[in-house]
Structure formats: C-alpha cells, structure tokens
Chain A
C-alpha cells in the first residue's frame, strides 16, 4: 500500500531530526511541536484547506533545510583539505612505493 505523502514527509523530517539532534527525540521540543502540528492539522484537514497547503509547503521547506544542511556538511567534510599529505600518501597517489616498503 502506498504511503500517504504527508506521512512520508513527516517520517523524512523525523529521520533528519534524529540525525541532527544530539539527545533522544522524545525530549526534543521541536519534535513534540511538529507532531502536535501534524495531529492538529489531521483533524481539521477537510475544513481549512489553505492552512493544510501552507503546512505542506512549510514541512517541505523545513525538510529541505535539514537535508540540504546535512548534505552540504557531509560533502564539505569529505572534500575538505586536511593539511599536507605524508610522503607515503603522496607516493601512493602516484603509484610509487617508499624505498623501505616491501615490493
């Protein structure tokens, strides 16, 4: 069964929040707030259409914020210069070995 897109978005946000936050999610106030918002909007889903669309846009924007921040951090950590390489590393890059290395 295909998952409701709203539920899917909520799950994505929670998974990003879990990666970002340090403590457990249970006492994260933002997590409780988001869950509260989702529940409240669920009950009034049919009545306030505009609010629901706005909510979807907001949820998507926040998800984008969390995800892009994480990916940007991961990429810059991966490619960040780590200072000078050692002689052995440099030699390995061009396929050489040091004189005392086994052949």
Chain B
C-alpha cells in the first residue's frame, strides 16, 4: 500500500501502468504470505480504498453516545472501511483519532493515520481473528524474536547487543519468572513451553482491541519482548525503536546516515509504536476501570 501511495503522484499514464503491474505482482506475493491475513479479499479492492482523497470536511469532533464515543467530520459520523459506525470506548482515544483526521491538510493520507487504522481493524476485524489466533501468532513470534538473535561473528556488535539487549531480556525473565536463552548462531533459540504458557496467560488478560495493538507493535519492532517492555512502560517508545534498530545504528557508525532511508524508517517506526502504546493503554485502562466498578458494586 505504501508502494502505491508513493507512486500516486507520477503522471496519469505511468500511474495506470504501475497500478496494474503492481497489482499483479502484489497479488502473486499476497497468495504466498498467509500468516495473519488468510481471508483478505483481492488486493485490488484494498488498493482502491486507499487511493488519495481530498479533505472534504472542515471541523472534526467527538460525540458521546452511551458508553461509547463517535467521531464527527463536520456533521457526518465517521465510518470504518466496511461501513460500520466508528465507535471507541475511550475518550482520549476518540480525541486523538479526531485530531488525526484534523491533521490531514489537503489530502487524506490514511497510511499515516495509525490510530484510526488500529481502531478500524478492531471494529471491522477483516481477518476474522479471535483472541486465541492473535495470542498464538505472538507465541510463534517469540521463537524468532530479534533480540534473542545476537551477532555470531562481529564482536563489537555483540558487545553492544549484550550491553543494550541483555538487560531487557533479563527484565522479561524477572517480570514473568521465566527462562529465556539467546542464540549466537543460525539455529533459533528454544523457548520452553512453560515460558509460552506464562506469556499466553499474560496476553489473554488483555482485551481483543489491545491484542490487535500488540500485533501491530510486534510487527513494527520484530520483537515480542521489546513490545512487552514498551507496553509495561519499562522503556520509552524511542528507546524501544532504537533497540529494535540496534544493528542498523551500529552499521551507521561505519557507513554513514542517509536521511531518506534511516531517519525516515526511524520516524515511521516510532510513530507506529507510539500509536500502538497509546492504543493499548487506552484500551486496557478503560477495561480495568470497569472491573473496579463491578467489584465495588
């Protein structure tokens, strides 16, 4: 989708050409990657729905309806791509989404609206996932967690990884009372079943919306451990992204920094992870407030 967005300013003819060629290539790739997206419709439809639109509203706001909040664009109520009403149950989240729509100046760039994307995914649930599917995805992911693979041949990099990554691994082990072992060769680390059981219990305590946020975070950082550390507010978003890009930063020291590659990806990842952290926070605090009320009642 980002590829398409980048292409969209070239002239009409090449746009048509690129659109068709990208779709055929994209669809071929799509059929192969079935990890969490088994039931998505044709890519063509998806591409069409993110085509650039002009901003068509002046003011954005929120409405309080029952225990939920809706977003308004002038007089219209915001809807999801599937046509469902856009509803969230947290006021700050609704305000942040409204601000996100307000931040679109001339065109509506939906690829940059991470909070809206997350809410849409939860409301529409385009992949028909349930909590168990998501938790299973995360449990499988921890086998290839990026901070458990440390450099086997570059000693300077290894030292840096030990200094930066090991405290986080240690925190994870202490927090969940589990045992994790990193690896320095291509054979993956073996994560014990007990570890996965503990992690599964922890993740199941979050609601469906927050778990969707977790998946977004894990896909951003390529690490379940770093995502947990950020969600638990142990490390800041900037720090988590830095740790996830540690090898890139190390190589930058030798080869130099290129703004349109390194800075761009850094800010992209930071925006994604920050939106995830906010999303999980707002979706889990409202939950805990409800539980407390139930207990006192």
Q: Which residues of A contact B (CB under 8 A)?
A: 17, 20-23, 28-30, 33, 53-54, 57-58, 60-62, 64-65, 68-69, 71-73, 75-76, 78-83
Task: List A contacts of B260 (CB < 8 A).
Answer: 75-76, 78-79
A53 nearest CB neighbor, chain B only: B233
Determine the distance from Cα of A76 to Cα of B61 in the docked complex, in whole angstroms: 28
Chain A to chain B: the 7 pairs with minimum beta-carbon distance, closest first: A65-B274, A68-B270, A72-B267, A79-B260, A20-B103, A68-B271, A68-B267
Determine the distance from Cα of A79 to Cα of B6 in the docked complex, in whole angstroms: 11
Write 11 A-B pairs (CB below 8 A) sorted by A numbering. Answer: A17-B99, A57-B233, A64-B236, A64-B237, A64-B271, A65-B275, A68-B270, A69-B271, A72-B112, A72-B267, A72-B271
The reply to whether A79 and B259 contact each other, CB–CB distance below 8 Å, is yes
CB of B292 closer than 8 Å to a CB of A: no
Interface stretch, picked from B80-88, B89-97, B127-135, B165-173, is: B89-97
Determine the distance from Cα of A37 to Cα of B127 in the docked complex, in whole angstroms: 36
Which residue, A29, A64, A71, has most C-beta atoms of chain B within 10 A?
A64
Given contacts A17-B99, A72-B271, 19 further A-B pairs with CB under 8 A are A22-B58, A23-B58, A29-B62, A30-B95, A33-B92, A53-B233, A61-B281, A62-B274, A65-B237, A65-B274, A71-B263, A72-B268, A73-B109, A75-B260, A78-B260, A79-B264, A80-B6, A83-B9, A83-B10
Interface of A is mostly: helix
A56 nearest CB neighbor, chain B only: B233
The reply to whether A20 and B264 contact each other, CB–CB distance below 8 Å, is no
Chain B 50-76 interface residues, beta-carbon cutoff 8 Å to A: 58-59, 61-62
Q: Quick one: which of A60, A62, A80 contacts B96, CB cutoff 8 A?
A: A62
Q: Quick one: which of A21, A33, A76, A81 contacts B264, CB cutoff 8 A?
A: A76
Determine the distance from Cα of A76 to Cα of B260 in the docked complex, in whole angstroms: 7
Q: Quick one: which of A21, A71, A82, A83 contacts B102, CB cutoff 8 A?
A: A21
The reply to whether A81 and B6 contact each other, CB–CB distance below 8 Å, is yes
CB of B32 closer than 8 Å to a CB of A: no
- Tell me the minimal C-beta distance from B91 to chain A in angstroms: 7
Determine the distance from Cα of A58 to Cα of B233 in the docked complex, in whole angstroms: 9
CB of B293 closer than 8 Å to a CB of A: no
The reply to whether A60 and B267 contact each other, CB–CB distance below 8 Å, is no
Q: Which residues of B contact A (CB under 8 A)?
A: 6, 9-11, 58-59, 61-62, 91-92, 95-96, 98-99, 102-103, 105, 109, 112, 114, 233, 236-238, 259-260, 263-264, 266-268, 270-271, 274-275, 277-278, 281
Task: List B contacts of A68 (CB < 8 A).
Answer: 266-268, 270-271, 274
Determine the distance from Cα of A79 to Cα of B262 in the docked complex, in whole angstroms: 13
Task: List B contacts of A82 (CB < 8 A).
Answer: 9
Determine the distance from Cα of A69 to Cα of B95 in the docked complex, in whole angstroms: 17
Which residue, B58, B114, B236, B271, has most C-beta atoms of chain A within 10 A?
B271
A21 nearest CB neighbor, chain B only: B102
**Contact of A58 with B281 at beta-carbon distance under 8 Å, contacts A68-B270, A71-B267, A82-B9 already known:** yes
- Tell me the minimal C-beta distance from A48 to chain B in angstroms: 14
Q: Quick one: which of B11, B103, B237 contacts A61, CB cutoff 8 A?
A: B237
Task: List A contacts of B268 (CB < 8 A).
Answer: 68, 72
